[in-house]
Amino acid sequence: MFRRLQLKMTVYYTLILIGILVATNLSVYLLMVNYNNYQIASEIKFMLESIESSEWLYETDTDADDLPEADEASIRPMFLSSGDETSNDKDDDEDDDDEKEDDDGKYDDDLDVPKQTDSEPEIETSTAIDETQTSGEDESGPESIEQLILPKTEDLLIPKILDSFSFYAIYDNQDHLVRRKSDNEDVFNQLVDKSMLIKEGDTPSVAEVRSERELYYLIAKMPIIIQNQRLGHYVVFKDVTLVFETLRNLVKILIYSFIAGVIVSVGIGYLIAGRSLKPIIRAYESKQVFLANASHELKTPLSIIMLSTETLEGEVDESKTFERGIITGIKEETMKMNELVRNLLFLARSDNHTIASAKEELDLSVLLSGESDKFKRFATAKAIAVEEIITPGIRYHGDKRLLAQAFGILIDNAIKYTKEHGQVVIKIENVQSVKHVSARVTISDSGIGIPTDELANIFDRFYRLDSSRSKETGGHGLGLSIAKEIIEDHGGSIRVNSIENIGTTFMVDL
């Protein structure tokens, strides 16, 4: 009994501890997720700051002083001017040529060939200037207009910040890949496919790719703008796998710790339940010892009272009705007391597992029929019809005395709670189940019945439906609990169906 109670208490304590564990782990998990989101947000912020700080240049944007003199001539011009400004620049060039001619003489010292005079170039340049001026006046008028000469995307100087990213790809205006950085072609191709789903200028997003393991990258797609002109776009990929791996590993730790916590919670719950039950068990054991001793000590005086009462009953003349009535009352109350003491002693021994059981092969049909005959005179006194449906020859291995006691309790209750002119049916039969054949004893009555909400409690010790029934029928609420103890000790089961004011049926399977 206490073992079952301890198991129930263990379940309750364990559920409480698991609830605390779940709440704690869930809080830690949400905290980790928030921290993971914070790290991703920080990576996105750093990524955007790096991209915004980068500057796309081409050769004319580079300081000429920083380049070697041999490369100055190859610097691509950024602007092309038209109109009078072009003519003035060419006149300045002619003046420079005149100065060089005066200083160096007519012949080139190194090559020992005549130098070319400026007369012919002047005519050609003048013609070129006139054509340029004429062209400028025809197309744009007298005003000077600057025309931007844009470089090709592949000629751009890549910002150094791009080298800090794991991968990048640069595209021209026709979405042709012109430059890239890649250490793993498979991963790069998957990232490029993912980047197709992202719009230029959107907030960087996380993409998952698969290689030898799961990888996570932040993807950002940005346009290439120079002098308010779009030359294409570029995509950068930042590896954030470590952030997600950290979260995944922490989740695994939480799962393992939860499993370990459940196991520990079961152990702690069992220990707490055991300690909580110790004082209860001590008190219950003390009560059981007292009941056993008291019951045993009461048997002797009760036996003496019964013997004395029977002696007096034989000595008193039948004409003395008053005296005989007193003796009969003493005898009946002594019998009730004796039954109570016997039941208490049985339960005490049952709890201590000290009931002497002598199991043997027996005929249940004969045993049940014999118990039915014992109570027929009580049924006749109330005009109750007792019907027996006995299948002969049903064999069973059990304790004859204890089984007779259990059947007697059920038959006695059926007759007690059946009103006059009612009916009690006692039946025994073999029932075929999936695994084996069992004997089923059914005892039905047409009595007052049991309320549905009380059916679960009728096998509890000292449980009575109401005080009025106790006064009418006697008893102390121990019979059904004893019957259940005996039947379950034999490996059987007992069930009950009842409808108020119609009747009750008890079914015993052995």
Mean pLDDT is lowest, of 10-24, 113-127, 311-325, for 113-127
Structure tokens that stand for 237 in this block: 């990929």
> What pLDDT score was predicted for residue 474?
60
Q: What are phi and psi of 297, to 5 degrees?
A: -70, -30
The residue among 429 and 478 whose pLDDT is bigger is 429
The residue among 478 and 236 whose pLDDT is bigger is 236
The whole-chain average pLDDT of the chain stands at 75
Name the helix (H) or strand (E) containing 275: helix 241-315
Q: What percentage of the chain has pLDDT greater than the value 70?
A: 75
> What pLDDT score was predicted for residue 342?
77
**According to DSSP H, which parts of 316-386 are helical?**
321-351, 364-374, 376-381
> What DSSP character marks residue 378?
H
Structure tokens that stand for 190 in this block: 């998957």
Tens-digit pLDDT profile for residues 293-338? 776 677 777 778 878 888 877 777 777 778 878 888 888 778 877 7
- Is 475 in contact with 461 (CB distance < 8 Å)? no
- Is 440 in contact with 429 (CB distance < 8 Å)? yes
- Mean pLDDT over residues 204-215, rounded? 85
> What pLDDT score was predicted for residue 478?
79
Task: Please choose, from the candidates 202, 334, 255, 200, the residue with its C-alpha nearest in 3D space to the C-alpha of residue 28.
Answer: 255
Tens-digit pLDDT profile for residues 455-477? 888 888 777 776 555 555 566 67
> What pLDDT score was predicted for residue 443?
92
Tens-digit pLDDT profile for residues 385-437? 888 888 888 888 888 888 888 898 899 888 888 888 889 999 998 887 767 77
- Is 140 in contact with 77 (CB distance < 8 Å)? no
- Is 365 in contact with 390 (CB distance < 8 Å)? yes
> What pLDDT score was predicted for residue 505?
92
* Maximum mean pLDDT: which of 154-163, 302-311, 342-351, 480-489: 480-489
Residue 86 has pLDDT above 50, yes or no: no
Residue 206 has pLDDT above 70, yes or no: yes
The residue among 329 and 102 whose pLDDT is bigger is 329
Mean pLDDT is lowest, of 102-106, 228-232, 308-312, for 102-106
Rounded to an integer, what distance in angstroms lies between the CA atom of residue 306 and that of residue 291?
A: 21
> What pLDDT score was predicted for residue 354?
65
Rounded to an integer, what distance in angstroms lies between the CA atom of residue 136 and that of residue 80?
A: 13
Cα 106-112-113 angle, rounded to 5 deg: 60
For residue 508, the cross-strand partners are: 441, 494
- Is 25 in contact with 254 (CB distance < 8 Å)? yes
> What pLDDT score was predicted for residue 151?
64
- Is 413 in contact with 370 (CB distance < 8 Å)? no
The residue among 69 and 203 whose pLDDT is bigger is 203
Can you give the pTM of this predicted structure? Answer: 0.47
> What pLDDT score was predicted for residue 307?
81
> What pLDDT score was predicted for residue 353?
67
Structure tokens that stand for 308 in this block: 């004395």
Tens-digit pLDDT profile for residues 164-190? 787 888 888 888 888 888 888 888 888
Residue 81 carries which side chain, given as an amino acid letter?
S
- Half-sphere exposure for 92 (CA within 13 Å, toward CB): 6
> What pLDDT score was predicted for residue 66?
43
* Maximum mean pLDDT: which of 133-147, 149-163, 250-264: 250-264
Q: What is the Cα Rg of the chain in Å?
A: 54
- Mean pLDDT over residues 47-57, rounded? 74
> What DSSP character marks residue 435?
S
Rounded to an integer, what distance in angstroms lies between the CA atom of residue 244 and that of residue 254?
A: 15
> What pLDDT score was predicted for residue 93?
45
